[in-house]
Amino acid sequence: MKERYPKLEINLSALRHNVEEVVGACGEQGVSVTGVIKGVTGLPEVSKVFAEGGVKIIASSRLEQLRDAKEHGIEKPLMMLRVPMMSEIEEVVSLCDYSLNSEIAVLEALNEEAAKQSKKHSVVLMVDLGDLREGFWNKNEFVETALRVENEMDSLYLAGIGTNVGCYGSILPTVEKLEELVELAKIIETKIGRKLDIVSGGATSSFMRIIDKNIPKDINSLRMGEVILLARDLWLFYGYNVDNLRKDVFTLKAEVIEVKSKPSHPQGEIGVDAFGKKPLYVDRGLRNRALIAIGKVDYGDPSELFPKDAGIEIMGASSDHTILDVEDYQGSLKPGDILEFDINYASLVYLTNCKNVRIAFCED
């Protein structure tokens, strides 16, 4: 059988290394890792490496992905990351050990459903410290709700509290920000007369506090995907040294279908492109170009792909084609050749979600 393309190759040895490094670094500072699998659309092979590498909880924003993990025999506790829809309460309770929450109506529905299923469902209450996505904004309401869960909702267990930063509002997980979460945890702990199991201080961006070794001591959990899967963002955006983490977990391979010398500026009257946009075309004269058989449908945005070979530049794309400038590429290209690309979180999410893209696993 001929190999089929496009293909996303996943190096499980590299992934295993990253899980162990991140779990180890967090462990030294009293922080457990919740492994977030939504970046790879919940591929069970990835969840399995997460579980074997020592993450405490497997988490996703999508129930389908958590169900996949369970059906593939992963025995770690499962956490629903996105605050539940009212329409999915029954499955949240039957499938997940934990859910993140920010609405009293949802908590009431979870409590009722958990009673019906004779279960105790664990909840982590989310507080919004300025990023303006999910979470209670009013701190009194937040504390009051925690007390209501603790004292009045018999089928729920108040496992802890958490926050999310660096998602919508681009807020940084500074020590001061995380101390705000710790303060709220202390207020709640005093009122309920016990420690909370989980004080969850954010996602990959909070790993900066682990690297700096200044995470407030009462933060005992982080929910992370990107730094384990790709380890790109902390270096790229904040200059953090993550040299100990491998950047070669994912390699995208796409097949060349046409190689021709063509003008770089379209010829004729310019209207709109396949997506109704009016891009700017730079006239660089006649250039050698290659077409590869992969497009926006597969990865979203061509600027989120990074050619591994020198001398290859991405010019643009339509649904099913990507156009490369290969004028400066050393070597010859012909139909059937395979080109390799690094990817980032955005393209990873699309590629793993796409039926046209074959997923292949390898080891070192």
Ligand X SMILES: *Cc1c(COP(=O)(O)O)cnc(C)c1O
Q: Give just the sign of the alpha carbon dihedral 185, 155, 193, 31.
A: negative
- Interface region with ligand X, contact rule CB under 6 A, candidates 84-92, 102-110, 223-231, 312-320: 223-231
* Ordered alpha helix ranges (H), the chain: 12-28, 44-52, 63-71, 89-95, 104-116, 139-152, 175-192, 207-211, 226-229, 233-238, 296-299, 345-353
* Min CB(167)–ligand X separation in Å: 7
| CA atoms of 7 and 145, how far apart (whole Å) | 47
Q: Closer to ligand X by CB, 74 or 203: give it.
A: 203
Q: Supply the DSSP string of 270-307, one letter for each residue.
A: ----TTS---------EEEEEEES--HHHHS-GGGEEE
Q: Closer to ligand X by CB, 145 or 204: give it.
A: 204
224: contact with ligand X by CB under 6 A: yes
| CA atoms of 86 and 57, how far apart (whole Å) | 23
Q: Closer to ligand X by CB, 62 or 358: give it.
A: 62
Say which residue the tokens 């201080």 belong to: 201
What's the one-letter identity of residue 13?
S
21: contact with ligand X by CB under 6 A: no
Q: Closer to ligand X by CB, 101 or 111: give it.
A: 101
* 38 catalytic per annotation: yes
DSSP 232: -
294: contact with ligand X by CB under 6 A: no
42: contact with ligand X by CB under 6 A: no
| CA atoms of 172 and 129, how far apart (whole Å) | 10
Pair 77, 99: CB distance under 8 Å: no
Q: Closer to ligand X by CB, 237 or 275: give it.
A: 237
* Min CB(254)–ligand X separation in Å: 25
Pair 80, 66: CB distance under 8 Å: yes
State which of residues 11, 13, 32, 61 lies at the interface with ligand X (CB under 6 A): 61
* Min CB(59)–ligand X separation in Å: 7
Of all residues in the shown chain, the one whose CB is closest to ligand X is 225
What's the one-letter identity of residue 226?
E
Residue of 38, 48, 70, 120 marked catalytic? 38
35: contact with ligand X by CB under 6 A: no
Say which residue the tokens 């919004």 belong to: 128
Pattern 96-125, binding to ligand X, x per CB under 6 A? ----x-------------------------
* Min CB(296)–ligand X separation in Å: 23
Pattern 159-198, binding to ligand X, x per CB under 6 A? -----x----------------------------------
Give me 14's structure tokens. Answer: 């590299």
Q: Closer to ligand X by CB, 26 or 317: give it.
A: 26
226: contact with ligand X by CB under 6 A: yes
State which of residues 14, 81, 110, 127 lies at the interface with ligand X (CB under 6 A): 81
What's the one-letter identity of residue 93?
V
**Burial tier of 119 (Cβ tally within 10 Å: 0-12, 13-18, 19+):** middle
State which of residues 56, 76, 223, 289 lies at the interface with ligand X (CB under 6 A): 223
Pair 335, 258: CB distance under 8 Å: yes
Residues in contact with ligand X by the rule CB under 6 A: 36, 38-39, 61, 81, 100, 164, 203-204, 223-226
Catalytic residue IDs: 38
